[in-house]
Structure 1
Amino acid sequence: MSETPADSSSRSETAANPNAPLPPLPELHGGMLNNETLAQLFEDYSHCTTVTEIIPKHAAQSHVPEQSHLTLASAQELLRTGSVRALQVRYHFDGGEWWDTIMTLPEGFRLVRIRHDFGQA
């Protein structure tokens, strides 16, 4: 992930002055999904968002590929079959950039969603 000039200047100001207020953290959400809600999530990606990237994570110590060419259908199948440890779906929705990380767990799928509003105060 690259920093914007605003991000780096905020960090520099905070490092130089430990009493300076920290920049606000992005909005974060999470929850658990089952196979049915996972399928609905991928339908929502398909019909309601503009997906920009899908990044698979195959193992805890493996490197993430620099470029991934996964489709929504293949990404969903990788999760459903347990062929990946996790994946991240990056997309545009409602004027913001969103990153959803979906992790496979024995009891289902853990979703962590974060909205990035780069360059906005």
Structure 2
Amino acid sequence: MAEPAPRLPDVQQAVLDVPTLDALFRDLAQCTQIIAVVPKTAAQAMTTPVTIDLAGARTGLTAGQFRGVQIRYLYESKEWCDTLLATPAGVRLVRICTDDAHSP
């Protein structure tokens, strides 16, 4: 008998304006335990994963130094992953609870 397919985590998405992006970074700093903050600088090239702080991520994202930033953190005893991507319309947020991917 075949094994059941793994459960995929729910995906949440939004495009954030500047005040909402500021609120997100404030909430991440005050309400979570940060595991890693990894910037993406090139469109397709693989980069060596480097962890930076939240302030550096916010500055680099809004200044155009980073195409995106991935933030892994703990919130209410679950691990989450927020991917922030710079777009012409604003910063696109894609959020998943990585613990949900491992739950039956």
Same fold (TM over 0.5): yes
Choose from 59, 71, 74 the match for 1:92: 74
* Structure 2 counterpart SS, 1:101: strand
Q: Offset of 1:21 from its aligned partner?
A: 3.3
Q: Which amino acid in structure 2 is aligned with residue 21 of structure 1?
A: P
Q: Which runs of 5+ in 1 are unaligned?
A: 1-12
Q: Which one has the largest radius of gyration?
A: 1
TM-score computed with the length of structure 2 as normaliser: 0.90
**Structure 2 match to 1:104:** 86
Structure 2 distance, partners of 1:22, 1:120, is 12
Structure 1 distance, partners of 2:10, 2:91, is 20
| Structure 1 residue ranges, 4+ long, deviating more than 6 angstroms after superposition | none
**Structure 1 match to 2:36:** 53
**Structure 1 match to 2:9:** 26
Q: Which amino acid in structure 2 is aligned with residue 39 of structure 1?
A: D
Structure 2 distance, partners of 1:25, 1:56, is 24
TM-score computed with the length of structure 1 as normaliser: 0.78
- Contact 2:69/2:83, CA 8 A, preserved across alignment: yes
- Contact 2:11/2:95, CA 8 A, preserved across alignment: yes
Q: Which runs of 5+ in 2 are unaligned?
A: none
Identity of aligned residues (%): 37
Q: Offset of 1:119 from its aligned partner?
A: 4.7
Give RMSD over aligned pairs. 1.6
